[in-house]
Amino acid sequence: MSALRGVLPITLTPFTDDGAVDEASIDTLVEDYLGAGAHGLTILGIMGEAAKLLDEERERVLRRYVQATAGRAPVVAGISARATRMALDYARRAEDAGAAAVMLAPPDNTKNLDLVFEHFRRVAEAVSVPVVVQDEPVNTGVTMPAPFLVRLLDEIEGCRYLKLEETPTLPKITAVRNAVRSPVGIFGGLGGVYLYEELLRGADGIMTGFGFPQVLVGTYEKFVAGQRAEAQEYFFRHLPLIRYEAQLGVGGVTIRKQVFARRGAISSPHARFPAPPVDDITLAELDDLISAVGL
């Protein structure tokens, strides 16, 4: 299996106006992401509203994304859950469906890091696909210091990737990269706000839900081609829009769905309740920024 690298967007889960899973829009979304140059897809994440899906819906979304991608790019499936037994089941289902890797966060509010380590160990040893360790303290309530992450990555063979969401990501990338002994892929997140700097620090790419993935792809491609000045200029040109989306936090799914719906990638911007609505002032500001950066 090829190593994961580049831009692997955290994908949306599209719904119809009445809140049902819209499988047809999964197909158009996949084409939108891949058409933007995405190097893979990360499904069933926070931006994908995975926690709002029924088990049957989750399975349908998983298999539809893998089917629509049709081997053109690796699919990473989110499997985070409050209990290890649940995460194990999600992981096995993801592997059976054809996912190239699984992404796992610590169980919510588990402060005992020995239990967190055992959680990752049990899941990683239960499947043959690699595990992406998701460091997401804001949503999980679990802080995993850099030395602990290094221990996870060095001591658990299946934990081969790290996705960082803790602010700031930059010192943590450096700390992990300098200390880890095993070959490890490191990905940033946080809406893409620090993508250029994360790449400078040694990140292998990014997993995030920004509404214009082609901007992240363009920055990454220029950077890895050795065109650092061009990558920086291109990234900074679009940073006001990236910044605007990022300040909306987890609620950013609603505005991102507005962007994808406006571009015709999904049929409806519906986000499942509770999700903050997007008011007319916000939409006007969004339109102004999109125009200002030339998208």
- Helix/strand/coil for 160: strand
Helix (H, G, I), strand (E, B) or coil at 219: helix
* 103 close to 120: Cβ distance less than 8 angstroms: no
In whole angstroms, give the CA distance from residue 42 to residue 136: 15
- Cα–Cα distance for residue pair 87/238, rounded to 1 Å: 37
CA–CA dist 177, 242 (Å, integer): 26
Distance CA 245, CA 215 (A): 13
The three state secondary structure string of 175-188 is HHHHHCCCCCEEEE
- CA distance linking residue 142 with residue 117, whole number of Å: 12
- Is residue 207 annotated as involved in ligand binding? yes
- Bridge partners (DSSP) listed for residue 41: 75
Cα atoms found within 13 Å of the Cα of residue 235, Cβ hemisphere only: 23
Backbone angles phi and psi of 32, in degrees to 5: -65, -50
Compute φ and ψ for 116, nearest 5 degrees: -60, -45
Residues of each annotated binding site: 207
Residues of each annotated binding site for pyruvate: 207
